[in-house]
Amino acid sequence: MKNLLRLYLIFLKIGAVTFGGGLAMYPILHREFIEERGWITEDELTDYYAVGQCTPGVVAINVSTFIGNKRGGVPGGFVSTFGFATAPFIVIALLAASLRAFSEYPVVRNAFAGVRVCVCVLVVNAVSRLWKNSVKDRVTFFIFAFVFALCASAALLPFSVSPAAVVAASALFGIAWQRCRRRAK
Amino acid sequence: MIFLLKLFCEFFKVGLFAIGGGMATLPFLYALSAHSGWFTATDVANMIAVAESTPGAIGVNMATFAGFITAGIPGAAASTLGLILPSIIVVLIVANLLENFHENTLVKDAFYALRPAAIALLCASGMSVFSVTMLSSEKIASATGFSAFTSALNWKAMIFGVILYAMQKRFKWSFVSFVALSAAAGIIFRFSC
């Protein structure tokens, strides 16, 4: 019980000081769990990141669950993840409440119109960062082009394109395609 | 109560299918705003800015924000819980039952096609972010012909976008300082009109 409370408090602190999620959290985790406490090894942390990127959801959450699970089993996994989510939850709830209250003011509307420009830059950066590891050959480029065309013309299609269906279908396609390719060799 | 359950289920789905980190939740939020009407496309663009400027993971923060503007604090709790629960469950299964999950051929094969598809989804929702930023929605609705289309373009925002992109390539400031700069530019040059 004391162990779980400690896990919760450590992750509460990490959640409060991590800006930018996933990768930004790496040095903090390194210091807290490898250098200061020795609860996990360097290799384990690297593994958690590798697997955390292949499991659904946000990487920061996945890695938190891994560390919690290592230290305190299944309850540890839950406790550390909830700990990580606590501080951001409070901050966002306060901010969202005040933004709603002030959103009709011209100053606030102009400020947000400016901030949205910054968000565009952020999206461009995210795409270019992901592009290198994902679109590696002709087939992956074709998948990209096909899905993008499908989404871009969604308004004209008689059915709606759900992102969940795209994710599921592309995963199945990847498995089938790679299997055929290996068999052909 | 039923509404909160619905909110929880929708975000559970997002948490289960959004693979590849925070920004991967973006296409799902757009799809959700289109078919539920709980929040607008502009709300989503604002959420990204707030989610990235506050502590925590961007995907979770966006879920909290979306839940809050839909149904207050209970809504924020339902959506946040919905988003993180699939992650916790899958990670606990992988950590305790499956060894070498990411070395598995099946997983690798799935990701071979999943990654480019995820980027395509992100690009498509990026277009929505661009259109709420760079186009004036009132003017585009009544736009006919090319000259009306160019008048609907938000030139100030476009020019500032190019400057901002160059600046963040050149200077390694934190994201929050760029947000502050953008907000100031938006107020001084009146981007919303």
Between A82 and B54, the higher pLDDT residue:
A82
User: Which chain B residue shows the shortest CA-CA distance from A68?
Assistant: B92
Question: Residue A181: what pLDDT?
Answer: 92
pLDDT for res B67: 93
Tokens 């009146």 correspond to what residue? B190
User: B118 to chain A, minimum CA–CA distance in Å?
Assistant: 7
pLDDT at site A25: 83
- CA B179, CA B170: separation in Å to the nearest integer? 16
* A149 Cβ contact partners less than 8 Å away, ≥ 6 residues apart: none
Name chain B contacts of A88, Cβ cutoff 8 Å.
54-57, 60-61, 64
> Distance from A5 to chain B by nearest Cα, in Å?
18
Give the CA count within 13 Å in the CB-facing half-sphere of A45.
Answer: 18
Task: Look at residue B147 in the predicted model and tell me its pLDDT.
Answer: 66
Taking CA–CA distances from A89, the nearest residue in chain B reads: B64
8 Å CB contact of B109 and A88: no
Q: Is the distance from CB of B56 to CB of A81 less than 8 angstroms?
A: no
State yes or no: pLDDT of B142 exceeds 60. no
Sign of dihedral through CA atoms A37, A41, A45, A46? positive
> Do the beta carbons of residue B142 and residue B148 sit within 8 Å?
yes
**Sequential DSSP letters for B22-77:** GGGHHHHHHHHHHHH-SS-HHHHHHHHHHHHHSBB-HHHHHHHHHHHHHHHHHHHH
Residue with more model confidence, B143 or A138: A138
Per-residue pLDDT, B193:
58
- Integer Rg of chain B from CA: 19
Contact (CB, 8 A) for A172 and B157: no
Structure tokens at A73: 């089993």
In Å, what is the CA distance from A21 to each residue of A24, B4, B31?
A: 6, 26, 23
pLDDT tens string B98-123: 777 777 888 889 888 988 998 898 88
| pLDDT above 90: percentage of residues in chain B | 30
CA distance A136 to B6: 39
The pLDDT value recorded for residue B139 is 54
Q: What is the pLDDT of residue B137?
A: 58
Looking at residue B140, its pLDDT comes to 52
d(Cα A52, Cα A30) in Å, to the nearest integer?
16
CB spacing of A117 vs B191 below 8 angstroms: yes
Work out the pLDDT band at B138, boundaries 50, 70, 90.
Answer: low
Which residues in chain B (144-173) have CB-CB distances under 8 A to chain A?
A: 154, 157, 160-161, 164-165, 168
Q: What pLDDT does A66 receive? A: 92
**Residue B145 scores a pLDDT above 60:** yes
Q: What is the ipTM of this complex?
A: 0.83
Contacts of B121 in chain A (CB under 8 A): 147, 151, 163, 166-167
Contact flag B22-A59 (C-beta cutoff 8 Å): yes
A 10 A CB-CB count for B117 gives 29
Residue B18 has pLDDT above 70, yes or no: yes
pLDDT (tens digit per residue) in B59-95? 899 899 999 989 999 999 999 999 999 999 999 998 8
Low-confidence ranges of chain A (pLDDT < 50): none
Considering only alpha carbons, which residue of chain B is nearest residue A141?
Answer: B116
| Closest chain A residue to B29, measured at CA | A163
Helix B58-97 with B25-36: angle, nearest 10 deg: 120
